[in-house]
């Protein structure tokens, strides 16, 4: 075999991607030791030393990210094969065929035991479709260059011929922020896909307080992720990624299912104490994609029936992003409200046309974005805006919820303006279910947020 070195940035991104093995076989760890369970159908593949990952000319339906071990990339067969590169943990390979639906232009095999994350064609396609025209052009240029390079290598008749290595010009690409961010996002998404099926997600509940009576009137269900490898992942990091992909759909179903199950427990606690449980509710955030699904309402109803909870105890929090298709959004909101669900317009004041939606659509609550609350005691403009929002809501007969309350001064200002419900660290951080249940019917001491 001839040896021609190429950089991890050029050749791995120029190799295609379809395995020649079955999912069940590749999820079998054999003599490899995996740090998490690997089962048929998962998105982790384990390869033994010398095992072929894919061959030149085969169809492409997957790409790979190396988690551990090394992979050799080469073109040609037998004694005429040419060594291109050895890839290490963190490298991605096999993606070319996903991008342009062409056969693989090189072969890949494991050097020693190797563990790889599967990158599906859907994952790649979603990112390409949502990218800018310039990014798509750069991808096309890169594909043309890499495929031409691989084709040229196969035409070499002289085994001793030495080609200039592209390592010097391509290596910086693998260290660029853009490349590292894309790689990190794909790996995060792969881990998140596992989290949905491996029971790594859980809900916490943040109390919602009546600012006039200081009683807990409800809780907002908030999603959290405890990853075995990453630890507790920030919601700001993974929820935005889920919303960019189809992952938000199974996650949204998971949240609804567990929220209804927990609501049943809350209701049982209230029924024992009898302190006005009829007004109690759980707020559930509904993503734009989730709300736009034709079957959303039917699944929502089925979920409440499964756990024997009433629609009036569930508040659906939506953002104005659902109004991208305004007619369908208004119809869907009306359908939910007619069934007894409450609908709250979340992050109010941050959109460009929030007031327009208030005029066209019937809702039940306005939730004032925390960015206004944070400046409430330091900005006259923020005070005027929040006061105006509360005044408009009152005239429309809509209760208001202020999120992100952290100081007694903010609470006093909101109470003076007539805000109805407050939420924030001043009252409580998001709590596990058992601790949230313990708050039912109990006075809530203000936290020290100094």
* pLDDT the model gives residue 448: 52
Q: What is the mean pLDDT of each run of 10 residues along the chain (450 residues)?
A: 40 36 38 43 87 92 93 84 89 84 88 93 79 62 67 57 47 59 81 90 96 90 95 92 87 96 90 68 93 93 96 93 83 94 86 71 91 92 93 94 95 96 95 92 63
Q: Which helix (H) or strand (E) holds 115?
A: strand 107-120
Domains present along the chain, CATH in parentheses:
2-172 (2.60.120.10), 199-439 (3.20.20.450)
Q: Report how far residue 354's alpha carbon sits from residue 372's, in angstroms, rounded to the nearest whole number.
A: 15
Q: What are phi and psi of 80, to 5 degrees?
A: -90, 5
Can you give the pTM of this predicted structure? 0.69
Q: Report how far residue 6's alpha carbon sits from residue 16's, in angstroms, rounded to the nearest whole number.
A: 16
Q: Are 100 and 121 in contact (CB under 8 A)?
A: no
To which residue do tokens 């006259």 refer? Answer: 380
- For 124, 172, 192, 200, 337, the CA distances from 43, given in Å and listed in that order, are 14, 29, 11, 16, 40
* pLDDT the model gives residue 171: 47
* pLDDT the model gives residue 355: 76
Indicate the angle between helix axes 121-130 and 177-197, nearest 10 degrees: 130
* pLDDT the model gives residue 21: 35
Determine the straight-line distance between the first and last CA of the chain, rounded to whole angstroms: 68
């Amino acid at each position: 075999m001839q040896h021609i070195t190429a950089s991890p940035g050029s050749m791995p991104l120029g190799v295609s991607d379809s395995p020649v093995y079955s999912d069940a076989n590749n999820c079998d760890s054999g003599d490899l030791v995996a740090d998490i369970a690997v089962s048929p159908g998962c998105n982790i593949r384990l390869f033994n030393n010398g095992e072929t990952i894919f061959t030149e000319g085969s169809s492409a339906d997957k790409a790979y990210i190396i988690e551990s071990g090394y992979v050799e990339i080469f073109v040609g067969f037998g004694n005429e094969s040419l060594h291109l590169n050895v890839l290490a943990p963190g490298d991605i390979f096999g993606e070319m065929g996903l991008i342009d639906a062409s056969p693989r232009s090189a072969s890949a095999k494991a050097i020693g035991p190797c563990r790889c994350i599967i990158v599906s064609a859907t994952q790649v396609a979603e990112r390409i479709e949502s990218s800018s025209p310039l990014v798509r052009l750069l991808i096309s240029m890169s594909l043309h260059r890499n495929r031409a390079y691989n084709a040229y290598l196969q035409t070499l008749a002289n085994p001793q011929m030495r080609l200039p290595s592209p390592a010097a010009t391509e290596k910086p690409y693998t260290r660029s922020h853009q490349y590292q961010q894309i790689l990190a996002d794909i790996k995060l998404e792969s881990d998140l896909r596992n989290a949905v099926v491996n029971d790594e997600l859980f809900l916490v509940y943040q109390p919602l307080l009546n600012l006039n009576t200081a009683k807990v009137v409800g809780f907002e269900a908030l999603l959290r992720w405890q990853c075995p490898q990453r630890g507790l992942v920030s919601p700001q990091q993974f929820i935005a990624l889920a919303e960019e992909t189809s992952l938000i759909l199974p996650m949204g179903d998971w949240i609804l299912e567990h929220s209804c199950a927990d609501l049943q427990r809350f209701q049982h606690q209230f029924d024992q104490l009898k302190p006005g449980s009829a007004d109690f509710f759980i707020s559930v955030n509904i993503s734009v994609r989730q709300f736009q699904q034709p079957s959303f309402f039917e699944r929502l109803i089925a979920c409440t029936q499964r756990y024997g909870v009433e629609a009036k105890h569930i508040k659906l929090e939506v953002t104005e992003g659902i109004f991208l298709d305004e007619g369908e959004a208004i119809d869907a909101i009306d359908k939910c409200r007619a069934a007894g669900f409450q609908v709250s317009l979340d992050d109010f004041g941050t959109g460009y046309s929030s007031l327009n939606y208030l005029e066209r659509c019937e809702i039940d609550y306005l939730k004032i974005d925390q960015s206004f609350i944070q400046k409430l005691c330091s900005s006259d403009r923020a005070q005027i805006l929040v006061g105006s929002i509360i005044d408009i809501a009152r005239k429309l007969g809509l209760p208001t919820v202020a999120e992100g309350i952290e100081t007694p001064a903010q609470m006093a200002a909101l109470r003076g303006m007539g805000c109805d419900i407050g939420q924030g660290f001043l009252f409580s951080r998001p709590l596990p279910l058992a601790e949230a249940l313990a708050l039912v019917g109990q006075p809530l001491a203000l936290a020290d947020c100094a």
